[in-house]
Amino acid sequence: MPSTEGRRPPRGRAVAAAALAAALLTGGLTAAAHAQDDSALPDRDAALAEAATLRQLADERGLRMGAAVGARHLDQPDYARTAAEEFTSVTHENSLKWQTVQARPGQFDWSGADRIVEFARSNDQTIHGHTLLWHSQLPSWVADGGFTEDELLEVMDTHITAVVGRYRDDIDTWDVVNEPIGDDARFRDSVFHRTLGEDYIAEAFRMADRADPDARLFINDYNIDGINAKSDAYYALVRDLLARGVPIDGIGFQGHLVSGQVPADIQQNIQRFVDLGLEVMITELDIRVQLPATEQKLEQQADDYTRVAEACYAVEGCSGVTVWGVTDAHSWVPGVFEGQGAALPIDGGYRPKPAYWSLHEALGGDPGPAPTDPPPPGECEAAYTVTNQWQGGFQAQVTVTAGTDLTGWTVGWTFGSGESVAHAWNASVTGGGADVTATNAAYNGTLSAGQSTSFGFVGSTGGGVSSPEPACGAL
């Protein structure tokens, strides 16, 4: 297992790497190394232009480097650019789920799903289809429908045939059944299991295979990354399915992990499923840390990413890794695990974190800047991201990163499209017009150099949503 030191460049290269880091910290990922046509950074070091994207590195090795994508974020240029440039493949984070696609019987809404498919198509990316059958995000007309066995089979077949059939030309791998086994290693209770018994799984795979005989069909779950009772239950299940000739091609290890707790036997676990003749994918990788994310925690997280990626790449038959979100600002983690987050390789300001460079190096690229490199000059930096928008309103997140030890900070910006702040959290925000000033809350003003904190707000739009460039200073 490579150590942190092993991931770092020799001294001579550290200079270029530090310049790279500084430029990326100033300009963000999409504005710097990879945008060959970006005139915003005309004097950037030649080394920057040479840094490969994760996508380029993964393509060279024939590996998947994917990301979960939300249809509603694709209007944000930085988001779209990062999703397109860094990833070989996309997974619909929510827009292909039953609740989204067929909330009412026979009424299909393809808008979000189509949007992502078109995006992937125009960026020449593959798509991993997520997901056909899941106990969650399942509309109540299915979950509480009171169907007989035959009726439920028909409902499943109609859904699977419609979804797989529609995207036959675009989606070549599918999570057919998601999370059918609980952490107690027993089949999870669901309308499918209750009505049809465990054979609903085989039926779903057969339906998907009929809808697209060329698609590669996966079963997918969390907490099965290492060898444990739950992954043993999957091992027994898929061995049985294969023995019965059920058309299953692979298993997805979701990989929703906690930093410092990557299972030591993950490679061995991948290998045993590959030895059954299955393809393994890491389908939903994120590695959460306790906030605030210090430099030390992000270094640990980087090692964790290295372990997962290298475990996959070491086994022929593990086809690659998908991360569950494009940046930390788009991750499900903080909304579900209180006080935890910063789980992805790219931060909310589109800056590569140490974990980004872990993936980069595991794919054969540059190991990135050394952890001892000095922080960027200046008191602090602020990155502004629109995380959601709707008719008449939007939500934004601002991440403040200290360049030196701070006991208070202030961030100012000017809206460009007549927006105004309605309600803020984790900072006090003043300024009713275009000019806005935010200062730290009582509990997040103290930051040590390199440390980050975020605040957010909901605003109303005056016709559009601009991307202001905030200035940050110490108080």
Q: Provide the annotated active-site residues.
A: 179, 284
| Contact call for residues 395 and 388 (beta carbons, < 8 A) | yes
| Contact call for residues 454 and 400 (beta carbons, < 8 A) | yes
Measured in whole angstroms, how far is the alpha carbon of residue 422 from the centre of its chain?
A: 29
Minimum Å gap between C-beta 102 and ligand 9MR is: 16
Minimum Å gap between C-beta 221 and ligand 9MR is: 8
Q: 94 vs 467, which CB is nearer to ligand 9MR? A: 94
Minimum Å gap between C-beta 373 and ligand 9MR is: 33
Minimum Å gap between C-beta 10 and ligand 9MR is: 39
Residue with tokens 């909330």: 103
Q: 81 vs 288, which CB is nearer to ligand 9MR? A: 288
Minimum Å gap between C-beta 469 and ligand 9MR is: 29
The residue ranges that bind ligand 9MR (CB under 6 A) are 93-94, 136-137, 178, 254, 284, 332
| Amino acid of residue 43 | D
Rounded Cα distance, 401 and 351, in Å: 11
Rounded Cα distance, 161 and 174, in Å: 13
Q: 128 vs 360, which CB is nearer to ligand 9MR? A: 128
Rounded Cα distance, 361 and 9, in Å: 10
Q: 258 vs 474, which CB is nearer to ligand 9MR? A: 258
Q: 27 vs 348, which CB is nearer to ligand 9MR? A: 348
Minimum Å gap between C-beta 253 and ligand 9MR is: 11
Minimum Å gap between C-beta 94 and ligand 9MR is: 5
Q: 137 vs 268, which CB is nearer to ligand 9MR? A: 137
Q: 253 vs 332, which CB is nearer to ligand 9MR? A: 332
With 0-12 / 13-18 / 19 or more C-beta atoms within 10 angstroms meaning exposed / middle / buried, residue 29 is: buried
Rounded Cα distance, 305 and 294, in Å: 16
Closest residue to ligand 9MR, based on beta-carbon distance: 332
What is the DSSP code (8-state) at residue 445? -
